[in-house]
């Protein structure tokens, strides 16, 4: 140790680490340089995916999808039918937990196919080919097909579909929704023979006491002209809802039984049933056809005061028709001026027709001016006014209006059309 050099101190012996559940970290004996403490950027390496990661998860890990019920699918079908598709491209149904599409020539399961042809019914395309190619048809598919034809106004085709469904009744038995759609089809046909056959089938299958089916049968009988059968069903019902009362009042009103309809409406109020907007429309129509002016005014005023129902344009139209039929043209025109919205051609046309019947020239000209200002389509308003001029011997005005009609200045009213079923096959139920 010569030369004045001091000996280097011996490094202290590190104390043993306390016992721990974690593993000790290896610390270096020397401090690391600063350039080694900086993180170095290295390119990311793309590792090939492991084959096990590409494999699908076992089916047992995913919860099995719940099978949709027929009532749920029927509700979806009705919603899709009301959702009008205005696009030119074919609508694609969106389904949760839908299976993958199969190859051409194979169809989806029968519970999912009705969504396709119900939407095609709503767009005007009848999917008869799709329905015929279905391998298995359940009650939802049959009901969707019948309801689609009814919504398209093809009532005879709906009746034929139901007859074909009855042939395979052991596979798909008609339910309540099917019978309601078929009743609408027979009501559109107006065939009392079909209506009686369906009523017999309902009693055969034991659905006579069903409220929904009975309401549909009452409406069918009313539109087929047999109010006696409809009233017998109504009196037989142990339970009546608002639809039952409204259907019976509507049938009586449409067949000219205005007094009976108003009396039934009063009985409904005494029974504690609260009328809605549709009920007021049918009872006001009954008052209009029966000439019950005071009763109609009283019912119209009670809408907002007693039942908190705001009158709509159809309610005002019934009141205008009520005043027009009673010859109260000035009061009808005052009601039109006091309406909270613009009148349509149906309301103004009813008043103008009444002016033509009663030779009321002054109000008729006012109504025609209002039609020109608020209605894009005039219909036969010019012809009605020319008839008023003819009744007043104002032939110059008649010739002026006729010239405008011939020149196209006043649009022509399209001719009326009627359909007559010459050969309707009899259906045995």
| pLDDT recorded at residue 106 | 36
Q: Would you say how long the chain is, in residues?
A: 429
* pLDDT tens-digit map of 240-255: 999 999 999 999 999 9
| pLDDT recorded at residue 59 | 45
| pLDDT recorded at residue 4 | 52
In the three-class reduction of DSSP (H, G, I as helix; E, B as strand; rest coil), residue 421 is classed as: coil
* pLDDT tens-digit map of 196-221: 999 999 999 888 889 999 999 999 99
Give me the helices (H) in 326-380, please: 329-337, 345-358, 361-374
Q: What is the DSSP string of 188-253?
A: HHT-HHHHHHHHHHHHHHT-TT-HHHHHHHHHHHHHTT-HHHHHHHHHH-SS--HHHHHHHHHHHH
Q: What are the start-end ranges of the E strands in 175-324?
A: none
Tokens 């590792």 correspond to 47
pLDDT at residue 103 tops 80: no
* pLDDT tens-digit map of 49-93: 555 444 444 444 444 555 555 445 445 554 554 443 333 334 444
Q: pLDDT grade, residue 171 (50/70/90)? A: low
| pLDDT recorded at residue 153 | 86
* pLDDT tens-digit map of 261-280: 999 999 999 999 999 999 99
**Residue of 169 and 361 predicted with greater confidence:** 361
CA 116/CA 427 separation, integer angstroms: 29
| pLDDT recorded at residue 259 | 93
Residue 398, both tokens = 């008649």
Q: pLDDT grade, residue 374 (50/70/90)? A: confident
pLDDT at residue 356 tops 70: yes
Q: What is the residue-averaged pLDDT of the chain?
A: 75
| pLDDT recorded at residue 84 | 39
| pLDDT recorded at residue 24 | 46
Residue 246, both tokens = 């409204």
Q: What is the DSSP string of 130-187?
A: HHHT-S---HHHHHHHHHHHHHTT-HHHHHHHHHHHHHTTTTS---HHHHHHHHHHHH
CA atoms within 13 A on the CB side of 271: 14
Pick left, alpha or beta for residue 308 (phi over 0 → left; psi -120 to 50 → alpha; otherwise beta).
Answer: left
pLDDT at residue 104 tops 80: no
| pLDDT recorded at residue 209 | 84
CA 21/CA 42 separation, integer angstroms: 34
Q: Are 80 and 112 in contact (CB under 8 A)?
A: no
| pLDDT recorded at residue 47 | 52
Q: pLDDT grade, residue 428 (50/70/90)? A: very low
Of 9-13, 149-153, 217-221, 353-357, the poorest mean pLDDT is in 9-13
Using only the alpha carbons of the chain, give its radius of gyration: 38
**Residue of 398 and 262 predicted with greater confidence:** 262
Domain spans of the chain, in order of start: 107-225
């Amino acid at each position: 140790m010569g030369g004045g050099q001091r000996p280097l101190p011996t490094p202290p012996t590190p104390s043993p680490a306390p016992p721990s559940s974690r593993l000790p970290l290896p610390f270096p004996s020397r401090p690391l340089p600063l350039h080694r403490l900086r993180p170095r950027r290295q390119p990311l390496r793309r590792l090939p995916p492991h084959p096990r990661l590409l494999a699908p998860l076992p089916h047992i890990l995913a919860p099995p999808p719940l099978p949709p019920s027929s009532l749920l699918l029927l509700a979806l079908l009705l919603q899709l039918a009301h959702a009008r598709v205005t696009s030119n491209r074919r609508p694609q149904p969106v389904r949760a937990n839908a299976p993958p599409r199969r190859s051409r020539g194979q169809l989806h399961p029968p519970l999912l196919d009705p969504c396709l042809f119900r939407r095609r019914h709503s767009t005007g395309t009848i999917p008869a080919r799709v329905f015929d190619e279905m391998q298995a048809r359940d009650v939802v598919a049959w009901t969707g097909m019948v309801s689609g034809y009814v919504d398209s106004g093809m009532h005879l085709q709906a009746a034929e579909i139901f007859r074909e469904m009855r042939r395979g009744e052991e596979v798909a038995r008609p339910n309540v929704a099917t019978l309601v759609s078929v009743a609408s089809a027979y009501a559109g046909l107006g065939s009392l023979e079909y209506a009686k056959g369906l009523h017999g089938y309902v009693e055969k299958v034991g659905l006579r006491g069903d409220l929904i089916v009975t309401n549909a049968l009452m409406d069918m009988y009313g539109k087929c002209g047999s109010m006696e059968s409809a009233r017998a069903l109504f009196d037989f019902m142990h339970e009546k809802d608002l639809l039952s009362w409204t259907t019976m009042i509507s049938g009586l009103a449409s067949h000219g039984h205005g007094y009976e309809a108003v009396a039934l409406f009063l009985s409904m109020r005494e029974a504690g049933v609260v009328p809605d907007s549709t009920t007021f429309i049918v009872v006001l129509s009954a008052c209009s056809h029966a000439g019950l002016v005071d009763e109609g005014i009283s019912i119209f005023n009670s809408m907002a005061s007693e039942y908190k129902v705001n009158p709509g344009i159809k309610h005002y139209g019934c009141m205008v028709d009520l005043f027009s039929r009673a010859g109260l043209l000035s009061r009808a025109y005052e009601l039109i001026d006091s309406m909270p919205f613009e009148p349509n051609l149906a309301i103004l046309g009813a008043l103008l027709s009444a002016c033509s019947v009663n030779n009321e020239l002054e109000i008729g000209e006012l109504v025609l001016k209002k039609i020109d200002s608020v209605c894009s389509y005039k219909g036969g308003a010019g012809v009605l006014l020319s008839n008023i001029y003819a009744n007043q011997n104002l032939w110059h005005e008649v010739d002026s209006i006729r010239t405008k009609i011939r020149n196209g200045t006043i649009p022509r009213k399209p001719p009326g059309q009627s359909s007559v079923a010459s050969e309707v096959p009899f259906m045995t139920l």
